[in-house]
Amino acid sequence: MSLGPVGQRIMQKLTDAFAPAELEVIDESHKHAGHAGARPEGETHFKVVIVADAFKGASLVHRHRLVNQALAEELADRVHALSISANAP
């Protein structure tokens, strides 16, 4: 499944912020249809798997905060839920 505009923006922002060795952005909105925060057009629930040097030595909480900061605009507007797996190589 290809990403829509919100998913593509997430991919670009994470690439710009972290230059990751690995990055996967998965739109899981279809799993939440009818739930609170879900929109009929989708792109509200995402899973991010990212591996980047920026996460070396960082705690789990700090890694999540870094990702959330990079995506602050999306989280404040369109994205209702974000599952994060952020690790160092």
Mean pLDDT of 75-83: 91
Which residue ranges form the domains of the chain, and what is each CATH number?
5-87 (3.30.300.90)
Nearest Cα to Cα of residue 3 among 61, 55, 52, 42: 42
Least confident of 10-14, 37-41, 57-61: 37-41
- What value does the mean pLDDT of the chain take? 90
**pLDDT per residue as tens digits for the range 16-52:** 999 999 999 999 886 756 565 555 566 888 999 999 9
Q: Give the pTM.
A: 0.86
Judge whether 48 and 4 are in contact, CB under 8 Å: no
